[in-house]
Amino acid sequence: MLSRPKIGILGSGKGSNMVALHQAVQEGRLDADIALVISDVQEAGILEQASKMGLKHIYLAPGPYRTKLDEQAELSYLQHLQGAGVQWVVLAGFMRILKGEFLRVFHHRVINIHPSLLPSFPGLEAWKQALDYGVKFTGCTVHLVDQGIDTGPIIMQQTVPVSEEDTPQSLHARIQQAEHETYPLAVQKALHSQLKIQGRLCTAEEAG
Ligand code: GRF
């Protein structure tokens, strides 16, 4: 039987990826325990969803900056995650950049999902960037978080076709469906195979 690593989920939005991860845990597709859900937004849907699902959850103030945690907030996030015994941090729509001490403590153990096929369209509203550019395929990418923005080693990707009728909303919805399939698979892979990171490359070996 596979061990059950503890994961902490960080999110700022509606939390649909967290729901998909929770469902995968319930259905035995993801061998992990969701030990804690943290949001930097007090009224975020992700906290409401976590409450409905009976998951331990907390709002932690992010400090004065708009795009990152201040030093004190970063410490408090770390303390709560470590206090809950978290081994892997899974970002599910967390709208702040994690850096420095956080990434040192959870080295190669912070996972993110991004709504495009990286390295195309990093940053905000990636589905809109894809539509504006005119690509025929986009998708989602699960990657390890490094010091850059959406630049870390890629664990898994899924393609999504773009149709001529798409609006930003319809394309985003289709990408989110792909995210909900891919994220549990990718997290399972990260947690239960030996990830080998060589520069940008991330390969997985079956754990012995
Ligand atoms: C997802 O589209 C993800 O790719 C991005 O933020 C969004 C979060 O959505 N990083 P949700 O809160 O999981 O519904």
pTM for this model (two decimals): 0.96
Which of 9, 17, 47, 154 best tests ligand 1's pocket when mutated (most atoms within 8 Å of CB)? 17
Tell me the sheet residues that pair with 90: 9, 111
Pocket probe mutation, ligand 1, options 18, 157, 179, max atoms within 8 Å of Cβ: 179
Banded pLDDT at 205 (limits 50, 70, 90):
confident
The structure tokens 């690593």 sit at: 5
| Domains along the chain with CATH numbers | 1-107 (3.40.50.170), 112-208 (3.40.50.170)
Is residue 109 within 8 A of residue 117, CB to CB? The reply is: no
Residues 6 or more apart whose Cβ sits within 8 Å of residue 183: 17, 20, 21, 90, 92, 113, 142
Residue 26 has pLDDT above 90, yes or no: yes
Site residues for ligand 1, CB cut-off 6 Å? 11, 13-17, 46, 92-93, 113-115, 176, 179
Asked if 139 and 157 count as a contact pair (C-beta separation under 8 A), the reply is yes
Active-site amino acid positions: 114
- Of 88, 89, 146, nearest to 119 (Cα)? 146
Nearest CA to ligand 1 atom 1: 93
What does the pLDDT look like over 153-196, one tens digit per residue?
Answer: 999 999 999 999 999 999 999 999 999 999 999 999 999 998 99
Sign of CA dihedral 22, 182, 147, 201: positive
Q: Closest residue (by CA) to atom 12 of ligand 1?
A: 15
* Cβ(47)–Cβ(59) below 8 Å: yes
